Amino acid sequence: MNESANQSTYSAAKRRWARWRDGLRERPVADFVYRVVIGVVGLLVLAVGIIAIPYPGPGWAIVFLGLAILATEFRAAQVALHWVRQRYDAVMAWFGRQHIAVKALSAAFTGLVVVASLWGLGALYWFGDLIGFQPAWLKSPIGIGSD
C-alpha cells in the first residue's frame, strides 16, 4: 500500500470517529458516561506511568499515553501534555549534553530507587525465598511481602 492510500485510510477512519463522537455529544447522558470512562482510563494509565518512571522501561511513554487519552476529552490534559512534553524534551536534551559521570550517577540513583522500592514492597525477600536465600535484612521494613 502506498503513502497516499495509507493517508486516505487514516483520514476516512478519523472522519468516522469524529462523526461517532459528535453523535455522542448530542446525547448528554452518553456523552457524560463516555467522558467519565475516558477520565478513569486515562488517570489509571497516567498513574501506572508515574509509578513506572523510575524503573527501566517505558515509564514516560506510559505517562504520555495517559495524558494523550485524557487530552482527547479534556482541555487541561491537552495543556498538561504539551507542557510535560516540552519539559521532558528539554531535560533529555540537557541530559544528553552531560558528562559520562553525571549519566553514571543518574543510572546509579535509578538503580538505588528500584532496589529500595523492591525491598520496601517485599519483592527481594520473596525472590530470596524462591532461591533459598532469606537473611533478615531482606525483609521489608514495612512488613509488606514478608512472613
Taking only the tens place, the pLDDT of each residue in 74-106 is 999 999 999 999 999 999 999 999 999 999 999
Same domain, 62 and 10: yes
Note down the domain range covering 36.
Answer: 1-96
pLDDT band at 145 (very low <50, low <70, confident <90, very high): low
Same domain, 85 and 109: no
pLDDT surpasses 70 at 144: no
Same domain, 138 and 87: no
Grid cell locating 29: 447522558
Over residues 21-50, the pLDDT tens digits come to 888 889 999 999 999 999 999 999 999 999
Same domain, 10 and 82: yes
Q: What does the pLDDT average to over 62-67? A: 96
pLDDT band at 1 (very low <50, low <70, confident <90, very high): low
Q: What does the pLDDT average to over 61-66? A: 96
Query: 78, 96, 114: which is the final residue of a domain?
Result: 96
Same domain, 23 and 55: yes
Q: How many CA atoms lie within 13 A of 14 on its CB side?
A: 7
Same domain, 65 and 92: yes
pLDDT surpasses 80 at 7: no
Same domain, 60 and 74: yes
Alpha-carbon distance 103 to 110, whole Å?
Answer: 11
Alpha-carbon distance 60 to 39, whole Å?
Answer: 19
Alpha-carbon distance 35 to 19, whole Å?
Answer: 16
Task: Work out the mean pLDDT of the chain and round it to a whole number.
Answer: 88
Same domain, 70 and 128: no
The one-letter amino acid at 15: R
Same domain, 61 and 112: no
* pLDDT on residue 2: 67
Report the domain count for the chain: 2
To the nearest 10 degrees (0 to 180), the angle between helices 123-131 and 100-120 is: 80
Cβ(48)–Cβ(27) below 8 Å = no
Same domain, 14 and 30: yes
Same domain, 60 and 104: no
Same domain, 102 and 134: yes
- pTM for this one? 0.72
